[in-house]
Structure 1
Amino acid sequence: MTTPFRIGVLGTHSTGKTTLLKRIEMELRGHGIRAGRTGNFGKGAAEIGLPKMQRHTETSTEWIIARSIASEIELGGVEVVLADRAVHDALAYYTAALEFRGEPVDSAEVDRLRLLASTQTPKYGLLIATRLDPEVPVNKQHSYDPRYRALVDTHVHALLAEEKLDHLVVSSDSTSQNEAIQTAVEHALKAVGA
């Protein structure tokens, strides 16, 4: 069995990551490509009593990174893995949570988590990072702290720059979204030889 092509999406909450991946998945399936999505790690962390969002810790970060890695591997039999929250996303959420709480960064711990995340970098054929548009309203069912949400956006893009990770930035604009979908599909089709 060949290694699947991986597309990872990062970005702060409610910036269209899951919707974007669903659209990419539909396009790929329309081309006869077997694709599978990962995700919902925050919910999984909460179910086992780990903190999330502003309360994110090094333990919850490590669990989410490890679970993300395992979930991508568990998607056997697919040609394309669509990672809803590539592994570096959890690290950005953690460093944003530390800043939000005004807590000092434990450099050794962050370096350890960065190393763990970096082991997965070569597996991604394409990384897509959503960009927060504060003008787009958030679903009223969610009570997100706007300051934390903005911090996560800043930390995601800073981390990608610091790690020098090639990525495609996607805004909430429909043209940007459509271009990202087209790019992702083209990369995937080329990678699987379709």
Structure 2
Amino acid sequence: MVTTPVHIAVTGTHSTGKTVLMRRAEMELRAIGLRVARVHGLGKRAAAIGLPKMQRHTAASTEWIIATGIAEELAHIADSDVILSDSAPINALAYYTAALEFRGEVSEPTTIQRLEQLVASQSPRYELLLATELDLAEPAPTTHDHDLRYRHLVDRHVHDWLFRTNWPHQLVANSDDSRDEAIALIKRRVAS
């Protein structure tokens, strides 16, 4: 049995299966008797309080999403065996830097540096980081704003950050085999 919560997160652009993957992991881990907390819906909640998202993402909305995710994860430490996050902190930063590029804007270097430091300070918390990949052959669902250029920018910013920082992660492709492998990896990590 797990004695301290195992933190697992997923990162990637929207509609690449992050939430579906974490829901499945949650169900399978609960089925073997583990107490699972899931942190999700941060972008929707940010929008509900009036913060901009997607192409209009700002430094303030980025920081709010990161800080709220951190706070929610911390709130579950005492009552969970596993904490699953549908959106690692790098996601908020990637959405922001992609939005800047999309709009042709440049942020103050100190703002980007501060946000990168916040993301880097939280990344060691995750024992396993999964990174979904954008499949351009897969038609985009109609549940989000699917400007293909923006989705591609977010995907590139996520994977550029992972490459630049050399942060350990497992790629999850848009295939049943890859998703099954990710679930098996989650189960092995939780069992270790």
Offset, 1:27 = 1.6
Match of 1:82?
A: 84
Identity %: 51
Map 1:12-161 → 2, pairs under 5 A: 12-75=13-76, 76-161=78-163
Secondary structure (helix, strand or coil) at the match of 2:94 reads: helix
Aligned to 1:187: 189
| AA of the residue aligned to 1:175 | D
What letter matches 1:61 in structure 2?
Answer: T
CA distance in 2, matches of 1:72, 1:56: 22
- Secondary structure at 2:127's aligned position in 1? strand
Stretches (4+) displaced over 4 A: none
Query: Which one is further off, 59-68 or 74-83?
Result: 74-83
Q: Which consecutive residues of structure 2, in runs of 5 or more, have no partner in the other structure?
A: none
1:172 corresponds in structure 2 to: 174
Q: Indicate how the Cα distance of structure 1 residues 143 and 58 shifts in structure 2: closer, same or farther if over 3 A, else same.
A: closer
Q: 1:99/1:85 Cα in 2 relative to 1: closer, same or farther (>3 Å)?
A: same
1:9 aligned partner: 10
Gaps of 5+ in 1: none
State the Cα distance separating 1:160 from its structure 2 match: 1.0
Return the alpha-carbon distance in structure 2 between the equivalents of residues 141 and 159 of structure 1. 26
* Rounded Cα–Cα distance in structure 2 between residues aligned with 1:44 and 1:15: 20
1:5-52 Cα shifts (integer Å, max 9, x gaps): 100100000000010011111121122111111011111111111100
> Distance in 2 between the 1:118 and 1:21 partners?
22
Offset at 1:165? 0.7
Deviation at 1:2, TM superposition (A): 4.9
TM-score normalised by L of structure 2? 0.95
State the Cα deviation string for residues 85-136 of structure 1 (Å, max 9, x = none).
0111100110000000011232211110011111111210000000000111
* Alignment RMSD (CA, Å): 1.3
TM-score normalised by length of structure 1: 0.94
Residue by residue, what CA displacement relative to the aligned partner does 1:143-166 show, whole Å, maximum 9, x if unpaired? 321100110000000011112210
Find the aligned partners of 1:106 and 1:183 in 2 and give their Cα distance: 39
2:107 alignment partner AA:
V
Count the aligned residue pairs: 190
3-state secondary structure, aligned to 2:74: helix
